[in-house]
Chains A and B, each alone.
Chain A
Amino acid sequence: MGVSVALSATEPSPFTSRGVPGALGVMVSVIVALLAGPLAGVVVALVGGLAFAILVADTELGGFVAAGVWALSALLSGMIADRFRAAGRERDVAHAAERHARQAAESESQRLSNLQALTARLATASTVPEVGDALVDSVTSALGATAAGIARLSADGREFVTIVARGFAPGLIERWSRFPVDTPVILADALSRRSVVTVSDAAEALERYPMLATLGPEYPLGAQAAAPLLAGETILGVIGINFDRARRFTPEDEALLLAIGRQCGQAIERARLFEAERRGRERALRLRELASALAAASTPGEIADIASDRVYPLLGGRTGIVGAVSMDGEAIELVSEEGFGSEGAESIERIPLSSGRPEAEVVRTDGPLFLGSPEAMRSRYPDVGQPEGGDQAWAGVPLRASGGTIGVLSVSYAEAQTFEDREIGELETVADQLALALERSMLQRSRDEAVRLEARVERVKAVSEAMNPKLGVYEVATAILAEAAEALGAAAGGLGTVTADGRNFEFMSTVGVVEGTAARVPVETRGPNTDAFRTGKVVRIEHAEDWRREYPKGSPLLGADAEAVLGVPISAAGRRIGAIGLRFDRERSFSPDELRFVGALAEEAGEALERARLFEAEQRALKRAARLQDVTARLSRAVTTEDAARAILRAATGGGGGEAAAIALADDEGRSLRVIPGQMSRGTLRLRPPFDLPVTDHGALAHVYRSGRAQWVESEAAWTDRFAEDLETLRVLGTCMYAVPIVARGEPIGALAVFFGEGSPEPSSQDAELIRSFAQQAGVALERARTYEVEHEAAVTLQRNLMPEHLAPEPRVEVVSRYLPATRGVHVGGDWYDLVDRPDGAVALAVGDIAGHGLPAAAAMGQVRSAWRALALSSSDPAAILGSLDRFAAGVEGAFFSTILTMLFDPSTNELRYASAGHPPALVIDADRTSHLLEGGRSVPLGLTFDLPRPQALEVLMPGAVLVLYTDGLIERRDESLDEGLRRLGDAGVRVAGAPLAEVADALLGLVAEDRHDDVALLAVGPKLPAEVFRRIFPADAEQLAAMRSELRAWLDRSGLSPETKEDVVLACTEAAANAIEHAYIGRDGDIRVVGESENGWLKIEVSDDGRWRDPRPDDSRGRGLDLVRTLIGDIDVERGERGTTVRMRVGVT
């Protein structure tokens, strides 16, 4: 710049007037030259100079020189300035270039470092998202992008799948998560060209990709760039970058993008590989874990848990199924499922192998099935997959174990799959492990089951062996049925056997059946039990529909409805004897183990039942034998018809026989039957009142008697049918009757009927045989009894007529007589005693024993006795009496060798004269408690000596002495000598010395053996007691009764009454007194009087009061009391009057 300073001269100095402007002019020119260039400076200088020269310098040369100076300096300075400026400009340019270069270098290094940073990040990026993040960050920072994303190619190369997107609106990202590769966007271009594609601004973008206009305002319209993701030569996808403004993309940018694309591609590739590797490692680990978990699993439940925890997650499907082939091999049973929900799970609980599901096909074909795409699925299994949420792929693999295909594993996927070796291999590995575990669990289960059943069989065996053979068939049946039902979980069941006649099937034990179910059905009835028995084959029903088909009417025991049923026959010793039937309330199949088990039980049952049955049969046979023995023994002891009848009735009803029995006996003319019924009650046989039937009666018993054939009437109906007119008395004994005829000596003499309760079965052949045996025995015994009875009756009649039971009351001596007939045999009639009061005051006594028995003996006895009476009345010489009797006896048949003891007693002197013809000595019991035998005057029995004098003896009895005459039946015992018997008699006499006469007589009688062949006659004579009187008066108060009784007892003790009669008297008196107490004095006091007198062998008692009695009311207990008195004391007389009532009673003392 040249500055020229032109100094305007002021007048004062020339210098100043010229110099200053001149300097100024130079300055200004120079400045101008400097500023505007030399040319400008020169111009200014010249102009200025001229101006100066002219104006200031007055056109002096100096002024022009100054102007020239000015121009020159301007030129110079301008040129210098220019040079400087140029240099400066050069420097500036250089600087600028330098700056540019530096900037370029910087941005290059920035790019490089960005790239490096990206590379570094990518190196550490192990997942695709990390790669994506790294890229987007880098791109946005390096290039200033607003938004960026990465899309990878789908497996089939037909779609872009966005893996990272930043800076875009979320809605946009979603919409563009997946789109076809031919979508007209920049990314597609980059893909197809395999190079970076850029767009500098929005306009260009819209022009090239019109579709962008449809994206809406959210889409950042501006510059765009896209670069391929390359890994080696493989294009994996594209990167897309958006700017919100225009941008120019330099080649470096493009190079950078490409580089980024490559880096990313590699990184993605690496990440994928890493991921795959990691997943692979993880899968390997999980497979190992799965293997060890499955190895430990022992039940299907555990396997199911492991499937849920590990298998399905490992396989990554949406749904999964593990199924096991059922035991019957007809369906797949669900072990575990995933993703089906409860309803879906139910529908696949049991997949029949015949179904159309792919799992069934896998099992059927024993091969895996892979459906990788929806099309494949739809084409083959249109029903599978779609309802389950639109699965895209499905895989099914059979589970194979040593036994073949035992199950199936299936998985469905949300995405289409390519089933490559790796996936298939994995599925098969998992399947193998599942198969092993499943097989193990099934084996374990069936082993456990087998062990369990085995243990049960063992137990049953042990139990049945230990079973007391005495256990009855019912116990055995119950035990076995219970075992079977429990082991198999049956809801109901029964065990039955065929009856002996083979016609019916009887249930020995039932469980879980309705009350009242028939216990016995005909063997032809259709039912699992009866069918199994008849056919000998197992009846096996596993489904309700099979049951309905086979048994539309149900079964008599098990009912109408059943879900599953099992019937197993029972055999013993090669013979079918029954069956076990079980009903289940759930459909089920029967495993071979279970069938074996039930079969084993059936065998046990057969053996045990047979054993029990044999034992029972044995017991019954023993019992029958015992009964027969018993009746035989009893009958042999039976003497009278009643004895025999009792024995038979007892035998027929005792020990398991019928509840009642009846004997019918025809009378002598054979015109009527006397029926004696007997009924067992409380263990004793009670005979019911006998009744008569005409022999022509239409009833069952008479029928049997007439026809001579046994008859079985099995029910009320049958009875009414055939013997409508039978008496109720017969039918009350029982509803069923078995009657047999009783035959003696070839002729029917009656009938024996045994009665049973309703519903009883016909007696078995053995039982019928037994009854017939009874009847046979009965025939024999009854015949014998009748004979005896006929004879006996005659003899007894005779005897009674000849020898009254009670001797007439004796005024001079106390006399007590006793007569005991023989218990055995028909030995009756020989013994006798008698007593005669003589006019001279003496008493003649005799006791005798006619040898022999039966009627002849009785007749002889009568004659001898009469003879003695006649002789005793007149003769005072016992020996002479004997002598006369000797002669007499010679003439009486049967009197020969009879014995007699005859005595004459004078009560005034106590002298006793006696003589014995072969008869046991009389006993004297003294008041001082000693006894002795009167052994004098002994001679031989009657009929042996004639005209030979017989001896006699004299004895003076002490006061209070008791004399006892008896026959040898009293002292004779089979196993001891007569002397011993006599001694016993003497001892007994001493023991009862001082006791009332009756007591003495009874005590001595007690010596007699129970079982005796001989009759016993006894006469006890003692001093006449003064008539003793009992008198008591007491207030009419019940409290007084006890004292009355005890005093009365004391008085009666001395009376010679038997203990029973004494008690009867006490009872009667108390009743009479109680009556008087209750009725005599109502509302007032009074006394009761009891007076007792013993006279002439009679005891008389009077109970009297002074009151006015009410009549006893019918239901009054007093009425009962009076009846009791009448029963006790035959001889009673009640006198009622206005002034009192007297009850008089009389009993005989002897």
Chain B
Amino acid sequence: MTGRELATFEFEPRERATVVRIRGEVDLSNAERLHDELSSRVGEAPWLVLDLSGCDYLDSAGLSVIVMIHARSRARGVRLRIVVPTSAATVDRVLAITGMDGVLQVDRSIDEALALVDAAG
């Protein structure tokens, strides 16, 4: 591994939603870190938006994290949205194969997700 991070997690706290941008690859090596960083932010705002537009790789390790965050959000009354554009092919595929795309609230673009946040009033 070079000094470069496998994935970066960028947090953008907004008024009504915390937007998290995940760029790079998420696997067993950094899934736990992702979980810790995300779970501490559940409850910051009424909405939590995970933007996986820049996520190049996601397997069951990352998916488990998302599932756990999903459960945590539900428990806290935070609404969770996952942004998976069709360009994020691997993520899209993993969600489709595992059927998680029916359980999670998936949007095709960050704009779509944010529009939902604003419209909720």
Question: Is B75 close to A, CB under 8 A?
Answer: no
B1–A1039 CB distance below 8 A? yes
Complex Cα spacing A694 to B57, Å: 47
Q: How large is the interface on A (under 10, 10 to 19, 20 to 34, 35 or more residues)?
A: 20 to 34
Most buried by A among B25, B61, B90: B61
How many Å from the CB of B95 to the closest CB on chain A? 11
Please state if B28 and A1120 are interface contacts (CB–CB under 8 Å). no
Does B1 contact A1071, Cβ atoms closer than 8 Å? no
Q: Contact at B25–A1120, with CB atoms within 8 Å? A: no
17 A-B pairs with CB atoms under 8 Å apart are A1037-B29, A1038-B29, A1041-B27, A1042-B25, A1045-B57, A1063-B89, A1064-B93, A1067-B59, A1070-B27, A1070-B59, A1074-B59, A1117-B63, A1117-B64, A1120-B63, A1123-B98, A1124-B59, A1124-B98
Hey, which chain A residues are within 8 Å of B25, CB to CB? 1042, 1045
CB distance from A1070 to the nearest CB of B (A): 5
**Interchain nearest-CB distance for B39 vs A (Å):** 15
Q: Output the nearest chain A residue to B102 by Cβ-Cβ distance.
A: A686
> In chain B, what residue has the closest Cβ to A1067?
B59
Q: Are A1042 and B63 within 8 A (Cβ)? A: no
Given that A1067-B90, A1120-B60, A1121-B60 are known contacts, is A1074 also in contact with B27, CB under 8 Å in the complex? yes
- Tell which of B29, B60, B90, B97 touches A1041, judged by Cβ atoms closer than 8 Å: B29
The yes or no answer to A1118 lying at the interface (CB within 8 A) is: yes
Shortest Cβ gap from B2 to chain A (Å): 9
**B89 to A: closest C-beta gap in Å:** 7
Interface set, chain B 1-56, CB cutoff 8 A to A:
1, 6, 25, 27-29
Check: B94 CB closer than 8 A to any chain A CB. yes
**Cβ contacts under 8 Å, A1117 to chain B:** 60-61, 63-64
Q: A1067-B90, A1077-B28, A1078-B28 are in contact. Are A1121 and B97 (CB under 8 A)?
A: no
| Contact in complex: B97, A1127 (CB < 8 Å) | yes
Task: Write the nearest CB–CB distance from B35 to chain A, whole angstroms.
Answer: 11
Min distance, Cβ A140 to any Cβ of chain B, angstroms: 99
Contact residue among A1038, A1064, A1118, A1128 (Cβ-Cβ distance under 8 Å from B27)? A1038
Q: Which residues of A contact B28 (CB under 8 A)?
A: 1038, 1041, 1074, 1077-1078
B60 pairs with A1128, CB closer than 8 A: no
Query: Chain A contacts of B63 at CB under 8 A?
Result: 1117, 1120
Enumerate chain A residues within 8 angstroms of B61, measured Cβ to Cβ: 1074, 1117, 1121
In this assembly, does A518 line the interface, its C-beta being within 8 Å of a C-beta of chain B?
A: no
The answer to whether A1042 touches B29, judged by C-beta atoms less than 8 angstroms apart, is: yes
Q: Which residues of A contact B1 (CB under 8 A)?
A: 1039-1040, 1042-1043
Determine whether the beta carbon of A1071 is less than 8 Å from that of B29: no
Contact at A1060–B27, with CB atoms within 8 Å?
Answer: no
Cβ contact within 8 Å between A1118 and B60: yes
Which residues of A are interface residues toward B (Cβ below 8 A)? 682, 1037-1043, 1045, 1059-1060, 1063-1064, 1066-1067, 1070-1071, 1074, 1077-1078, 1117-1118, 1120-1121, 1123-1124, 1127-1128
Smallest Cβ distance from B118 to chain A, in angstroms? 17
Residue of A nearest to B27 (CB): A1041
| Residues in A neighbouring B27, C-beta threshold 8 A | 1038, 1041-1042, 1045, 1070, 1074
CA distance A1124 to B6 in the complex (A): 22
- A1120 near B98 (CB under 8 angstroms)? yes
Instruction: Specify which of A1039, A1060, A1120 is in contact with B64 (CB 8 Å cutoff).
Output: A1120
The answer to whether A1039 touches B29 (Cβ under 8 A) is yes
Q: Which among B6, B27, B89, B94 has the highest number of chain A CB atoms within 10 Å?
A: B27
In the assembled complex, how far is the CB of residue B55 from the closest CB belonging to chain A, in whole angstroms? Answer: 13
Name B's interface SS: helix
Q: Which residues on A sit within 8 Å (CB–CB) of B89? A: 1059-1060, 1063
B92 to chain A, nearest CB (A): 11
Interface residues of B in 62-109 (CB under 8 A from A): 63-64, 89-90, 93-94, 97-98, 105
Given contacts A1041-B27, A1071-B59, 14 further A-B contacts (CB under 8 A): A1038-B27, A1038-B29, A1039-B1, A1045-B27, A1063-B89, A1067-B59, A1067-B90, A1067-B93, A1070-B27, A1074-B28, A1078-B28, A1117-B61, A1124-B94, A1127-B98
Q: Is the CB of A1128 within 8 A of B97?
A: yes
Cα-based distance from A1067 to B98 in the complex (angstroms): 13
Chain B residues within 8 Å of A, Cβ to Cβ: 1, 6, 25, 27-29, 57, 59-61, 63-64, 89-90, 93-94, 97-98, 105
- CB–CB B6/A1042 < 8 A: yes
* Residue pair A1067, B94 in contact (C-beta under 8 Å): yes
Q: In the complex, what distance in Å separates the CA atom of A1067 from the CA atom of B95?
A: 13
Q: How far is the CB of A906 from chain B (nearest CB, A)?
A: 41
A680 to chain B, nearest CB (A): 14
Query: Closest residue to A1044 on the B side, CB-wise?
Result: B27
Q: Is the CB of A1063 within 8 A of B29?
A: no
A residues near B98, Cβ cutoff 8 Å: 1120, 1123-1124, 1127
Query: Which residues of the partner chain B approach A1043 to less than 8 Å between Cβ atoms?
Result: 1
> CB within 8 A of A1121: which of B29, B59, B90, B93?
B59
Name the residue in B28, B61, B93, B98 with the highest tally of chain A Cβ atoms < 10 Å from its Cβ.
B28
Residues of A within 8 A of B6 (CB): 1042
Q: Which 7 A-B pairs have the closest CB atoms?
A: A1121-B60, A1038-B29, A1117-B64, A1038-B28, A1074-B28, A1120-B60, A1039-B29
A1127-B94 Cα distance, complex, nearest whole Å: 10
A1060 to B61, CA, bound (A): 20
Q: Which residues of chain A come closer than 8 Å to B94, judged between CB atoms? A: 1067, 1124
Q: Whole-angstrom distance from the CB of A153 to the nearest CB of chain B?
A: 91
> In the complex, what residues of B have CB within 8 A of residue A1038's CB?
27-29
Q: Smallest CB–CB gap between B11 and chain A, Å?
A: 23
CB-defined contacts of A1040 to chain B, threshold 8 Å = 1
A1041: nearest chain-B partner, CB-CB: B27
* Chain B residues near A1121 (CB-CB < 8 A): 59-61
Across-interface contacts of A682 in B (CB, < 8 A) = 105
Least distance between A209 CB and chain B CB atoms (Å): 103
Q: Closest A-chain residue to B100, C-beta based?
A: A1120
- Report how far A1124 CA is from B89 CA in the complex, Å: 16
Q: Which of B60, B93, B105 contacts A1063 (CB 8 A)?
A: B93
Contacts of B93 in A (CB 8 A): 1060, 1063-1064, 1067
Q: Nearest CB to that of A681 among chain B residues?
A: B102
- Of chain B, the residue at the smallest CB distance from A1119 is B60
Q: Which of B29, B60, B105 makes the CB contact (< 8 A) with A1124? A: B60
**Nearest-CB distance from B38 to chain A (Å)?**
15
**In the complex, which residue of chain B has the Cβ closest to the Cβ of A1125?**
B60
Chain A residues, CB < 8 A from B57: 1045, 1066, 1070
Q: What is the CB-to-nearest-CB distance from B26 to chain A, in angstroms, rounded to a whole number?
A: 10
Give the complex CA separation of A1121 and B1 in angstroms. 24
For residue B97, which residues in chain A have a CB less than 8 angstroms away from its CB? 1124, 1127-1128
CB proximity of A476 to chain B, nearest CB, Å:
23
Within the assembled complex, what's the spacing in Å between the Cα atoms of A682 and B90?
A: 22
Task: Find the A residue at minimum CB distance from B60.
Answer: A1121
CB distance from A547 to the nearest CB of B (A): 39
A1124 to B98, CA, bound (A): 7
**Chain B residue at smallest Cβ distance from A1121:** B60
CA distance A1077 to B64 in the complex (A): 17
Q: Which residues of B contact A1059 (CB under 8 A)?
A: 89
State the CA gap A205–B31 with chains docked (Å).
Answer: 133
A1071 to B62, CA, bound (A): 11
A1124 to B94, CA, bound (A): 8
Complex CA gap A1071/B61 in Å reads: 9
Q: Name the distance in Å between B91's Cβ and chain A's nearest Cβ.
A: 11
Q: How far is the CA of A1039 from the CA of B105 in the complex (A)?
A: 30
What chain B residues lie within 8 Å of A1118 (beta carbons)? 60
Nearest Cβ distance between residue A39 and chain B, in whole angstroms? Answer: 152
Which chain A residue lies CB-closest to B62?
A1117
What residues of chain B lie closer than 8 Å to A1042, measured between beta carbons? 1, 6, 25, 27, 29
Chain B min CB distance to A283 (Å): 72
Q: Which residue, of A1040, A1067, A1078, has the highest number of chain B Cβ atoms within 10 A? A: A1067
Distance to closest chain A CB from B59 (angstroms)? 5
> For A1064, what are the chain B residues with a Cβ–Cβ distance below 8 Å?
93
